[in-house]
Amino acid sequence: MRGSAIAVAVGIPLALAAAAGFLAGMASAGGDVEPAAASASPTSAAPVAASSEPPAASATPSTTVDPYVEAMSGGSETLEEGQSGRSETNVANSDLEILNWVETDDPVFFITIDDGIVRSPEALALIQEQQIPVTAFLTEYAVREHTEYFNEVTAYGGSVQNHTMVHGALNDPETDVEWEICETQDRFEGQFGYRPWMLRPPYGAGPDDPDVLKYAEECGINRIVLWNVVVGNDNKVEYWDPPIRAGDIVLLHWEDNLAEGLETILDLGREQGLTPAPLEEYI
Ligand SMILES: [Zn+2]
């Protein structure tokens, strides 16, 4: 059942150019979509400037066993029910790859939800009711007091992953790329009990910048995950190649009307015979 990632191998300019063009198109097509331009504003609350001093750490070092360590030592059977997707990825695929969709023959697509400033109870209820696998790319400053919510919404095969400390554009020379990536890794390991292995650069900006690749590798990231379908905050759906297809990676945001956006994309998937699957099990 495991599909192989259609990785946009690092250093293949054509594929990356296609991704960049797509992202730029998305930015112009939908005002709420994260724009690719480094100078653009984030989708919601203004982040602290990347050059400012990082806020004091609120997370304490984790005392729980890292699930990857467990997996590597044969202890994966102790993983919690529904969280198997967290167990093997780092181990099986150690090379850093950039991807915006997944090559698979399985009738599945992938739901990724970004930022984390708003935590909708209706979205949580829907995710729990339908046991939807969700990969949550979270911005650290927005979620540090909300561990329980994000553990609950990622309890169905999903996971919490890295969307930086304060949502800095990683291709902006003013951004402290090391801090944005690596501090998030350390904080999330403390907060959620496992170290992220996926990074989604804010605005999709700079996924192949040398510093991004360098600090991603140094700090334990092996997948830089973009997207090819967007459900905007107005629930308008933007496709790279409509309709939704097997292996598509859908981007939504943690917003008040997220439940409606999820219903929208679930319905569109159903029309194509597709159901959501954990991205964690396919890349
Ligand atoms: Zn974002």
DSSP 203-223: GG--TT-HHHHHHHHHTT--E
CA distance to 120, 178, 193, 259, per residue, from 217 (Å): 33, 11, 20, 34
Read off the tokens for 109: 């697509």
Span 91-120, average pLDDT:
90
Q: How far apart are CA 240 and CA 227, in angstroms?
A: 9
Q: How far is the CA of 79 from the centre of ligand 1 (A)?
A: 29
Ligand 1 mean position to 90 CA, how many Å?
23
The 10s digit of each residue's pLDDT in 209-249 is: 999 999 999 999 999 999 999 999 898 999 988 999 999 99
| Encoded tokens for 254 | 């943690």
Distances (CA, A) of 97 to 11, 65, 245: 10, 26, 21
| pLDDT of residue 32 exceeding 90 | no
- The residues facing 135 across adjacent strands are 112, 159
pTM: 0.72
Hey, what amino acid is at 117? I
Whether the pLDDT of residue 264 is over 50: the answer is: yes
Domains of the chain in sequence order: 4-45+64-281 (3.20.20.370)
| 115 CA distance to ligand 1 middle (Å) | 5
CA 6: distance to chain centroid?
A: 16
Q: What is the CA(136)–ligand 1 centre distance, in A?
A: 11
CA atoms within 13 A on the CB side of 116: 30
Q: Phi, psi (5° rounding) for residue 198?
A: -115, 145
Q: Is 68 helix (H, G, I), strand (E, B) or coil?
A: helix
3-state secondary structure at position 199: strand
Tens of pLDDT, residue by residue over 56-91, are: 333 333 333 333 333 333 333 333 333 334 444 444
Helix extents (H) in the chain:
13-29, 67-72, 89-92, 121-130, 140-143, 147-153, 177-178, 184-192, 210-218, 258-271
Read off φ and ψ for residue 238, nearest 5 degrees: -115, 130
Helical ranges in 136-272 per DSSP H: 140-143, 147-153, 177-178, 184-192, 210-218, 258-271
Ligand 1 center from residue 267 Cα (angstroms):
24
The whole-number pLDDT of residue 93 equals 54
Report how far ligand 1's centroid is from the alpha carbon of 163 (Å): 7
Sequence-separated (6 or more) residues with CB below 8 Å from residue 260: 235
Helix (H) or strand (E) holding 25: helix 13-29
| Local structure of residue 31 (DSSP, 8 states) | T
Q: Which residue in the block uniquely carries the two structure tokens 């319905």? A: 267
**77 alpha carbon – ligand 1 mean position (Å):** 34
Q: Which residues pair with 99 in a beta bridge?
A: 225
- How confident is the model at residue 94, as a pLDDT? 65
Longest pairwise C-alpha distance within the chain: 48
Which phi and psi (to 5°) does residue 217 adopt?
Answer: -65, -45
Q: Among residues 23, 132, 136, 91, which one has the least CA distance to residue 283?
A: 91
pLDDT greater than 50 at residue 280: yes
What is the pLDDT, as a whole number, of residue 262? 98
206 has pLDDT over 80: yes
Top pLDDT among 280 and 14 is at 280
At 187, give phi and psi (nearest 5°).
-65, -45
What token pair was written down for 105? 């023959």
Report CA(202)–ligand 1 centroid distance (Å). Answer: 5
